[in-house]
Homo-oligomer: A and B are copies of this chain.
Amino acid sequence: MYDIDWKIAGVGGMGAMGVGLIFSKFMMRTGYWVVDYNEYNSIIKGGHNTFQVRASLEVNYCVSSKVDLLIALDEYSLIYSNSLKNDSSVILCDWELIKDKTVVDRSRVVDVPFSVINKSEGGDEIMKNIIALGASLALIGADIDICVDILNEQFGKKGDLVVEKNIKLLKAGYNYILGKYRNYMVLFTRKHGMYKTIEPSDKRYLITGNEAIALSSVEEGLGFFAAYPMTPASSILHYLASISSDYNFVVKQTEDEIAAINSAIGASFAGARSMTSTSGGGFALMTEGLGLAAITETPIVVCVVSRPGPSTGMPTWTDQGDLRFVMHSSQGEFLRVVLTPSDPEECFRLTKVAFYLSEKYQIPVIILTDKYIAEGHWSCRIDLNITTASRNSLISQVALDRIETYERYSDTPSGITPRSLPGMKKGEYLANSDEHDNYGINSEDASNRLVQLNKRYTKKLARLISELPTNKIYGNKDSKNAVITFGSLKNQVLESMKTNTNFKYMNLRCVCPFPTSEVNSFLDGIDNLFVIENNYIGQLAGLIREYVGRAPNYQLLKDDGRPIQYEEILDFMKKNGY
């Protein structure tokens, strides 16, 4: 099966990210499964960006630590030459620009004089990246027509001139290889395998986790979205803002995260499906609001896109360090759901679940992801119209008209009391952050307190538990070795399972309420438990100990801002004898 690991690197502002995405899209359009991964710094220009793509004919899950083709837009980028996969792997760069010619093996280098070509073709300084893209396409033996289409779409809004310039440079890069390096191309494709365009069997989209959440929320009838910019959550806000007027919902950049969650709660109280998104630092400011939603029984969906902490930490990098934080934040005890999708496709599905559960149970639901899946693209199928249900747990005017006095917080068998919305006659009530009675009015009475706690927590939980997303078991179901992860790590584990099938595997997509019985039976009778997490202290392992009473035999942890790579998982398993 054909596959390719392609990487471009350069100083921020050189456009590595831009053409990387075009390459991803190109590969998807021509029939491949694609996943990409990018790295950049928390500064606007300068710094160093990389964009890596893995494209293959069979389904793939994550990029590799090795590449077949490295495009180095500057000299510094040659540090990645140590990640060339094998002796058919090449480096594409402008050899003229390299001062220290000893850092790489010249024979690996396909020299494309970006600057010279750029100048001769009348390109702008920042357009070298397009030349490089064209050259790399030639090298792998691809046809560029589809890429020309993509450029047309991408730059169409910027006018014909820009489009034409880009196409010209793309072709210049492409033709340079065909002219000067045809032998190299032949060599590369002979060794690497011949690229060819495939008719994909199904419709695929190339989207990020953030885009998936945004799209799904729109489909679910999002009525109000408020957020404050924060990397790596901002693109949810950006995307929703760009379409809000066409799709008729409110998007508000608020003055801070406190206003974001409080206004979303207000809008939800008034009847709109409401969401907010942020990263850990912004979530810290939302914690008080979370409890407000809980005690007033107002639905709210909160997306938390993790980056390494503590504090400002490493804003443009990834980790899974906020698990316990989102589970336990806000004073007091209340029911909440924490969903942990593993990739954009699951982001899309679980966002629907989030809105459904939140509205039905009138509770806060958190979607916890991380920078890695929030900003990386995966080619995936999107099932439209798998919408969970229509509105839930609302009372109708007809029903209100029928009853004597409406009791918003009366105790019910399910713990769920249908809510009225402002404007409805006879539906007046008080949504109260203080403990309250059936009408919402302040109450400090001990027995009322216990009724309300029981209603809000115990009763709802009993019913909720059966509606939580279940967790699939992968791999050899009879194996005595079990691997558990949550969220984005599924990608690397599944990729590693292409090589190593010595274990069975479960990825948790809902960590709270913890799926105790599922994990229990998954772990039943095993010899070894492996827990793998992208954090420092192993929070998931703690949860498993707490809820299932089982400590891991082996733990793989990493928290340097980079995702654990699937090769690291293979090594880890091997090191421990599996």
- A interface, CB within 8 angstroms of B: 41-42, 279-281, 283-285, 287-288, 291-292, 294-296, 306-317, 319, 321-322, 324-325, 327-334, 432-435, 442, 444, 446-447, 449-450, 453, 457, 535-537, 539, 542-543, 545-547, 549, 551, 559-562
Contacts and interface: CB of A to CB of B under 8 A. Distances in A.
A279 B559 contact: no
B559 A41 contact: no
Nearest to A332: B309
Contact of A287 (B287, B306, B537): B287
A288 B294 contact: no
Given A309-B291, A313-B434, A536 B453 contact: yes
A283 B327 CA distance: 16
Contacts of A321: 331-333
B317 A291 contact: no
5 contacts: A288-B311, A309-B331, A311-B332, A435-B561, A447-B560
A542 B514 CA distance: 12
A305 to B, nearest CB: 11
Contacts of A537: 333, 457
B314 A536 contact: no
B334 A310 contact: yes
Given A453-B559, A545-B545, A551-B549, A333 B317 contact: no
Contact of A308 (B435, B457, B542, B562): B435
A109 B334 CA distance: 45
Contact of A288 (B285, B315, B435, B446): B285
B333 A535 contact: yes
A281 B288 CA distance: 6
A312 B433 contact: yes
A321 B16 CA distance: 50
Nearest to A319: B332
Contacts of A316: 444
Nearest to A323: B328
Contacts of A324: 324, 327-328
B331 A322 contact: yes
Given A281-B291, A287-B287, A307-B331, 15 more contacts: A280-B332, A284-B288, A284-B331, A308-B332, A308-B435, A309-B333, A309-B334, A310-B334, A312-B434, A319-B332, A325-B328, A333-B539, A450-B559, A545-B545, A549-B549
Given A295-B310, A310-B294, A329 B328 contact: yes
Contacts of A41: 444
Given A329-B325, A545-B546, A561-B446, A311 B292 contact: yes
**Complex copy number for this chain:** 2
Nearest to A304: B331
A484 to B, nearest CB: 15
| Residue of A281, A287, A432, A442 with most chain B CB atoms under a 10 A cut-off | A287
Nearest to A279: B331
Nearest to A328: B324
| Residue of A296, A332, A551 with most chain B CB atoms under a 10 A cut-off | A332
Contacts of A560: 446-447, 449-450
Pairs of residues from A and B, 10 with the lowest C-beta to C-beta distance, nearest first:
A309-B332, A280-B331, A291-B310, A310-B332, A284-B288, A309-B331, A546-B546, A312-B433, A324-B328, A446-B560
Contact of A310 (B313, B333, B535, B536): B333
Nearest to A296: B311
A300 to B, nearest CB: 13
A418 to B, nearest CB: 21
Given A294-B311, A324-B324, A545-B546, A330 B284 contact: yes
Contacts of A453: 536, 559
B331 A433 contact: no
Contacts of A334: 309-310
A259 to B, nearest CB: 13
Contact of A331 (B288, B292, B325, B539): B325
Contacts of A547: 545
A447 to B, nearest CB: 7
| Residue of A279, A291, A294, A435 with most chain B CB atoms under a 10 A cut-off | A435
A358 to B, nearest CB: 16
A146 to B, nearest CB: 35
Contacts of A546: 542-543, 545-546
Contacts of A330: 280, 284, 309-311, 325
Contacts of A310: 291-292, 294-295, 330-334
B332 A329 contact: no
Nearest to A325: B328
A335 B42 CA distance: 25
Contacts of A333: 309-310, 321, 535-537, 539, 559
A39 to B, nearest CB: 9
Given A332-B313, A545-B546, A434 B42 contact: yes
B332 A457 contact: no
Nearest to A551: B549
